[in-house]
Amino acid sequence: MTASTELLTVPQVMERLQLGRTAVYDLLRTRQLPSITLGRARRIPAHSLTDFIRTHLEQEAV
């Protein structure tokens, strides 16, 4: 699986963003962080997480 198609679990995103489970699920619920649902599992494309971080860094620089 390439980096562009890598799918992350919620715990992986929690670790990378240093956020709790509730905060990550809030980002998913409000669609600030796109995800897909496979059965009952939520997966976050790695590129979506990268885009999310880049967007927030750009907003903070303004």
Does 3 have pLDDT greater than 90? no
The model's pLDDT over 6-58, given as tens digits with 9 standing for 90+, comes to 999 999 999 999 999 999 999 999 999 999 999 999 999 999 999 999 999 99
Which string of b and e fits 1-37 if b means at least 16 CB within 10 Å? eeeeeebbebebbbeebeeeeeebbebbeeeebebee
Note the pLDDT of residue 1.
Answer: 63
pTM: 0.86
